[in-house]
């Protein structure tokens, strides 16, 4: 009899544990299903914000004559916004301006020549003037540079790392500061800073350390400004792309064409413009989001070792 009671008690205990395990598993599964549903809605189903009505009729894009910047300018023009192009080469600015007006004859286009690695004072004056005179609603801080190739920290020449900091950190900061006052007066605006997966998605980016650190600055600046200025109707967002098939990526990562996980600038820009106004940080392209999810499952030491092995292959290739 006592043995029967003991067995019954043990069986009841096993049932309770099994029930709790089932409940916990159900809750975890439900949580992931809800997250997946939210991701599908945000990525594919959510309606786009009316950018002109919400923020203003003009958009400014830095680094606008190639890659993501050029594609963003075209996509914003497609949405009906007038465009201010900011870049170093006056010839390429004129070429892109002509292309924009040919494809989107209903919009206005202005160009500001500005070398972010040199004296930017005159360019900033023109940007500030445009902010006062025009209904500038959107700023895309896209301009950015990286190393000419994989390098250990002590191998990077001072002129190289100073140039990276001047363009990626000082340039982004000064242009943002030049436009935010006008947005404050109008009580609306959107500032989109293009970050990098090198500073957010993976725990380290060896042999490109200064570039990764500069993009970490952009990420933290964006988050803090989002908190500071959302009360004034200004939405600040850091967009975090992984590899996009641009000239810079081709040079650094030896990627020659787009693929499933590496979109064209045009495909990326289409997704990026849809994300404006939604959250302080995002990875606009859907396949990049999948990569970020799986990177988050891997332990940091494993990701560090993987990135270091890739960087070392590139480093050896240029020695």
Could you state, in order of their start, the residue ranges of all structural domains in the chain? 1-46, 51-317
Residues designated catalytic: 211
Note the pTM of the prediction, 2 decimals: 0.90
3-class secondary structure per residue, the chain: CHHHHHHHHHHHHHHHHHHHHHHHHHHHHHHHHHHHHHHHHHHHHCCCCCHHHHCCCEEEEECCCCHHHHHHHHHHHHCCCEEEEEECCHHHHHHHHHHHHHHCCCCCEEEEECCCCCCCHHHHHHHHHHHHHCCEEEEEECCCCCCCCCCCHHHCCHHHHHHHHHHHHHHHHHHHHHHHHHHHHHCCEEEEEECCHHHHCCCCCCCCHHHHHHHHHHHHHHHHHHHHHHHHCEEEEEECCCCCCCHHHHHHHCCCCCCCCCCCHHHHHHHHHHHCCCCCEECCCHHHHHHHHHHHHCCHHHHHHHHHHHHHHHHHHCC
Return per-residue pLDDT of the chain as tens, 319 residues: 555 555 555 555 567 777 778 778 878 887 867 877 787 877 877 888 999 999 999 999 999 999 999 999 999 999 999 999 999 999 999 999 999 999 999 999 999 999 999 999 999 999 999 989 999 999 999 999 999 999 999 999 999 999 999 999 999 999 999 999 999 999 999 999 999 999 999 999 999 999 999 999 999 999 999 999 999 999 999 999 999 999 999 888 888 899 999 999 999 999 999 999 999 999 999 999 999 999 999 999 999 999 999 999 999 988 7
Output the pLDDT for position 9. 56
Domain 51-317 homologous superfamily, CATH? NAD(P)-binding Rossmann-like Domain (3.40.50.720)
């Amino acid at each position: 009899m006592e043995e029967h009671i003991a067995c019954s008690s043990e069986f009841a205990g096993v049932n309770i544990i099994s029930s709790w395990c089932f409940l916990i598993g159900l809750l975890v599964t439900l949580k992931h299903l809800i997250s997946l549903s939210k991701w599908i809605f945000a990525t594919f189903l959510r309606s786009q914000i009316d950018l002109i009505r919400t923020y203003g009729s003009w958009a400014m894009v830095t680094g606008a004559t190639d890659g993501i910047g050029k594609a963003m300018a075209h996509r914003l023009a497609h949405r009906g916004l007038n465009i201010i192009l900011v870049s170093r080469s006056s010839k390429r600015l004129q070429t892109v301006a002509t292309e924009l007006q040919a494809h989107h004859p209903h919009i206005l286009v202005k160009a500001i020549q500005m070398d972010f690695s040199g004296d930017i004072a005159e360019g900033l004056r023109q940007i500030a003037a445009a902010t006062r005179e025009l209904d500038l609603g959107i700023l895309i801080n896209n301009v950015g540079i990286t190393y000419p190739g994989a390098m250990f920290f002590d191998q990077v020449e001072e002129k190289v790392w100073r140039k990276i900091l001047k363009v990626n950190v000082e340039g982004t900061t000064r242009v943002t500061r030049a436009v935010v006052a006008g947005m404050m007066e109008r009580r609306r605006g959107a500032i989109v800073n293009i970050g990098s997966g090198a500073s957010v998605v993976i725990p380290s980016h060896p042999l490109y350390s200064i570039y990764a650190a500069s993009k970490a600055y952009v990420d933290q600046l964006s988050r803090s400004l989002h908190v500071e200025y959302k009360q004034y109707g200004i939405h600040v967002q850091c967009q975090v792309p992984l590899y996009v098939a641009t000239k810079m990526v081709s040079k650094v990562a030896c990627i020659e064409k787009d693929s499933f996980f590496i979109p064209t600038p045009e495909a990326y820009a289409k997704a990026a413009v849809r994300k404006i106004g939604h959250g302080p940080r995002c990875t606009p392209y859907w396949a990049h989001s999948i990569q970020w999810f799986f990177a988050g499952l891997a332990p940091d030491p494993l990701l560090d070792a993987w990135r270091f092995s890739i960087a070392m292959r590139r480093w050896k290739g240029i020695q």
